[in-house]
Amino acid sequence: MTSFFTQLHKKKITLLSLIILATSFILAPPFLSRSVSRLVQLKSHLYPSSAIQQKLRRPFNTTPNRYIARMAYENELEVALLAVQRATLLTKSVFHSHSKGTLTKSDNSPVTIGDLGAQALIISSIKHVFPEDEVVGEEDADDLRKDEALRSLVWDLVQAAKLDDSAAEDKIGGPIKSVDAMLDSVDSGRSAGGRKGRIWALDPIDGTKGFLRGGQYAVCLALMIDGVPTVGVIGTPNLPVDDKAPLDADIGANADDSDGKGVLFGAVKGEGATSRPLSSGGLKEGSKIFMKPLNDISQATFCESVEAGHSSHGDNAAIASKLGITKPSVRMDSQAKYGSIARGAGDLYLRLPVSKTYQEKIWDHAAGVVIVQEAGGEVTDAWGKPLDFGIGRTLKDNKGVVAAPKGVFPRVIEVVKEVLGAKE
Ligand SMILES: Nc1ncnc2c1ncn2[C@@H]1O[C@H](COP(=O)(O)O)[C@@H](OP(=O)(O)O)[C@H]1O
Ligand SMILES: [Mg+2]
């Protein structure tokens, strides 16, 4: 009898265990997943994603690695860096040739075959990877369509410009397929711009006058998201690679792209700015750049345009003098000025308006603005107004441009306003 009860008791325990086991199989997964997600939340609080990404980030090369966390707009940055790098191969070959193929546009600014070829190459790279994106490019294909000699000259250059790294070439779509595809690429830069969506701003050769004079020039590309410059890339074949190389007055003249020259700047909003040597293949390793901390503003080096018609040398000098700056300005063409202050070679960029009616073009500033902001600087117009890139192809609500390290920016803009105010 006793053994019968003992048996029954054992069976009850076994049955109970089975019920508990079955219940826990049914109920455990939701509990478990909740606990795991709590753990993940806790971890992401302790290690914000940007910090984790910072640790895991690969230097931008052309080898995709899907197991490593990617930062925001990493693909866009990589494509922009490679596209600009390939276009500089073309502009450099034109820079070296004696006949730079100048023709005059109706607005009398010089346009070169380099401009048209670089625009064709860059837009074809963008459209290969991001077919839906729009592009605001400085050039159009009207002259190319009319002029057969010009067309074949540009076609030869475009075909010759290849990165000597097949993975890098593939990433940006390889060679342009036909003359018609080249013309269509150039003409795809006709976007009106605006405040919505993904729009690239492209200046295939910024500083055309510097390019023709044998000075500084830059190939510039920026991606704007809903009117905000978010990715910026500048290729400057005539700047020294060394971020620490001091800026002297010669930098803007008699430039050449001999060994030891050629820089590729890049930045993504919220992710920092980098510089790396330009190469003819894949991307070289980059390093972070920062503006110089300026404890004494009177020691600043300020940059301005070579062309007095683009920026008032007189007003710039008056501002520098009020800030106690005694060093002469460093004059150079193009957005090489933005790159130079972003890496701490110079400190301030002053672009005081010459004309009351001129509207700055978005492609002359979008890339430089991201790079300077990400290196620790601030950029506004001459009245301290944020630059509005979302209202079309020009910055029509702004006048002039001022860029400086954050710490001294309020003082700089105060003095700029005094100088402008005195002229009103
Ligand atoms: N009156 C003016 N005021 C300001 N910028 C002007 C201007 N006329 C032309 N520009 C722009 O100045 C750019 C060159 O700037 P910088 O003087 O810094 O090198 C030119 O770019 P492009 O050379 O691409 O045509 C052009 O768009
Ligand atoms: Mg320009």
Distance (Å, rounded) from C-alpha 422 to C-alpha 424? 6
Distance (Å, rounded) from C-alpha 380 to C-alpha 395? 11
Confirm whether 115 is a catalytic residue.
yes
Cα-to-chain-centroid distance, residue 333: 18
308, 317, 332, 320: which is closest to 248 by C-alpha? 332
Q: Cα of 393 to ligand 2 centre, how many Å?
A: 12
Q: Lowest mean pLDDT: which of 63-72, 389-398, 411-420?
A: 63-72
- Residue 28 pLDDT more than 70? no
The reported pTM is 0.84
pLDDT tens-digit map of 198-210: 999 999 999 998 9
H-type helices in 97-202, by residue range?
113-129, 142-146, 148-160, 166-171, 179-187
Q: Count the neighbouring beta carbons within 10 Å of the beta carbon of residue 12.
A: 10
Q: Lowest mean pLDDT: which of 255-269, 277-291, 347-361?
A: 255-269
Q: Are residues 230 and 269 in contact, defined by beta-carbon separation less than 8 angstroms?
A: yes
| pLDDT at position 32 | 42
The protein residue with its alpha carbon nearest to ligand 1, atom 7, reads: 310
348, 268, 312, 375: which is closest to 53 by C-alpha? 268
263, 217, 402, 262: which is closest to 319 by C-alpha? 402
Mean pLDDT (the chain) is 85
198: Cβ–Cβ under 8 A, 6 or more apart, which residues?
Answer: 130, 132, 133, 134, 223, 224, 225
DSSP 3-state assignment of 207?
coil
**The one-letter amino acid at 387:** L
| pLDDT at position 255 | 77
The protein residue with its alpha carbon nearest to ligand 1, atom 11, reads: 310
Domains and CATH numbers, the chain: 74-288 (3.30.540.10), 297-423 (3.40.190.80)
Cα-to-chain-centroid distance, residue 264: 10
- Residue 263 pLDDT more than 50? yes
pLDDT tens-digit map of 352-397: 999 999 999 999 999 999 999 999 999 999 999 999 999 999 999 9
- Residue 44 pLDDT more than 50? no
93, 95, 59: which is closest to 78 by C-alpha? 59
| pLDDT at position 43 | 35
- Residue 35 pLDDT more than 80? no
Distance (Å, rounded) from C-alpha 195 to C-alpha 212? 34
| Beta carbon of 304 within 6 Å of any ligand 1 atom | no
Q: Cα of 126 to ligand 1 centre, how many Å?
A: 25
Instruction: State the average pLDDT over residues 224-246.
Output: 96
Confirm whether 88 is a catalytic residue.
no
| Beta carbon of 105 within 6 Å of any ligand 1 atom | no
Q: Is the ipTM of this complex over 0.85?
A: yes
Q: Are residues 419 and 322 in contact, defined by beta-carbon separation less than 8 angstroms?
A: yes
| Beta carbon of 236 within 6 Å of any ligand 1 atom | no
